[in-house]
């Protein structure tokens, strides 16, 4: 049995204020820039500044938007790729031929 939806969360404006307008927002606009790394500057209340250089993990994989539309989360991507792994290994063994 489904739970009743909370109107404040799932309502018309999802709890967002009227002055926030995301109608012209672009998903993934800064994705390529972040891949190259970025700097975070933290200004503390005591007047000191901390600068952190951040590089994305080497094993991060980005999906193109048309592919991403079919996978809602990492779990579904991993599941699909695990299904393909045996097929790739079979094809490589068939091309290698007898030794």
| Mean pLDDT of the region 21-41 | 84
**Which helix or strand (DSSP H or E) is residue 42 part of?**
strand 38-43
Return the SS3 of 65: helix
The answer to whether 45 and 8 are in contact (CB under 8 A) is: no
Count of domains for the chain: 1
Residue with tokens 């063994």: 93
| pLDDT of 52 | 92
For the whole prediction, is pTM greater than 0.75? no
Tokens matching residue 63: 């999906």
Q: Is 86 a member of any domain?
A: yes
Per the prediction, the chain carries an average pLDDT of 80
* Helix/strand/coil for 52: strand
In a domain, 17, yes or no: yes
Find the mean pLDDT for residues 10-24.
76
- In DSSP terms, which residues pair with 54 in a beta bridge? 38
Q: Is residue 2 part of a domain?
A: no
More confident residue, 57 or 72: 72
Domain that holds residue 24: 7-96
* Structural domain includes residue 1: no
Is pLDDT of 2 > 60? no
Q: Taking 80 as the threshold, does the pLDDT of residue 3 lie above it?
A: no
In-domain check, residue 55:
yes
Distance (Å, whole) CA 66 – CA 76: 15
């Amino acid at each position: 049995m489904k739970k009743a939806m909370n109107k404040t969360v799932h309502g018309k404006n999802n709890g967002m204020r009227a002055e926030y307008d995301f109608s012209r927002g672009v998903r993934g606009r800064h994705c390529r820039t972040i891949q190259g790394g970025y700097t975070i500057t933290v200004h503390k209340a005591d007047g000191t500044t901390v600068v952190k250089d951040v590089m994305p993990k080497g094993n991060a994989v980005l999906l193109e938007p048309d592919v991403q539309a079919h996978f809602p989360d990492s779990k579904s991507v991993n599941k699909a790729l695990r299904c393909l792994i045996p097929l790739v290994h079979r094809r490589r063994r068939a091309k290698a031929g007898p030794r």
